[in-house]
Amino acid sequence: MNSESDKVRTLTYSVFGTTDKGPVRETNEDCFLINKQHDLFAIADGLGGLPMGNLASETAITSLASITYDSKFNFQDAFNKINDTVNALGETINTDFGIATTLTAVKLQDNILFGGHVGDTGVLLFKKHTWLKLTKDDTMAEQIKSEAENKEIYIPSYYHHTLTQCIGKGNKLKIQTFEHPLESGDRILLYSDGVTLILSPEELHDLAFQSNTPEIFVNKIIQEGYTREGSDNITAIAIYAS
């Protein structure tokens, strides 16, 4: 029989997120979701090379928010439904090119971080002395690296931003799902690539632990975006576990 001391304490979370068009872009094609009722959080980044990237990201986030949440919430099913919705809308807007977006989402449940991911938005987990990237970018650069079998190979810089898949372009998604246990003191960052274009994971790790609250952390990211003249929209959601 377990004693009271054997029970695992349920973590609590503080959350803050925002989006900013950045110092260069005239429009913002990022969108984000903070649903504290269901501990569900997401970021989408519309593809600027296609029509109406802002509508694509907004549609993905709105579709995610409309899904019924329960203990059997399934990211694979959710992303497929969202992809169908964005595909259908894209066909009505532009039959040749459609619309498209990245999508990264996480759900906190039973002290575990569950997630789903397509594109080059992403999730970083910061612990006191280390950091982990929980998502893999769906880019040409990452595809070439995986096929190179650790051989040194030249990768053009634009391949780091050329997507191999995204929401809204076809029906054959290879959705990345993941889960990771959480501990008190962990700090989680969901980000659009406008964040990682200006700050390295090491810099973000330092900022996370220099900031007492998620709001301070996110605002520092935005400030750095302007200081460093970031070239893209900047969107971040920070989650602190305690």
Each residue of 32-80: pLDDT tens digit?
A: 999 999 999 999 999 877 768 899 999 999 999 998 666 667 999 999 9
pTM score of the predicted model: 0.92
What is the helix (H) or strand (E) element at residue 37, kind and residue range? Answer: none
pLDDT digits (tens, 9 = 90+) for 127-171: 999 999 999 998 766 666 665 666 677 656 655 667 889 999 877
Least confident among 11-15, 93-97, 112-116, 235-239: 93-97
- CA separation (Å) from 13 to 1, 115, 185, 201? 30, 16, 10, 22
**DSSP assignment, residue 127?**
E
Q: What is the pLDDT of residue 88?
A: 94
| Whole-angstrom distance, CA of residue 35 vs CA of residue 107 | 9
| Whole-angstrom distance, CA of residue 152 vs CA of residue 212 | 40
Cβ contact 170:87 at 8 Å: yes
Q: What is the pLDDT of residue 97?
A: 81
| Domains annotated on the chain, with CATH | 12-241 (3.60.40.10)
Side-chain-side CA neighbours of residue 108 (13 Å)? 25
Residue 3 has pLDDT above 60, yes or no: no
Residue 6 has pLDDT above 60, yes or no: no
Side-chain-side CA neighbours of residue 228 (13 Å)? 18
Q: What is the pLDDT of residue 1?
A: 46
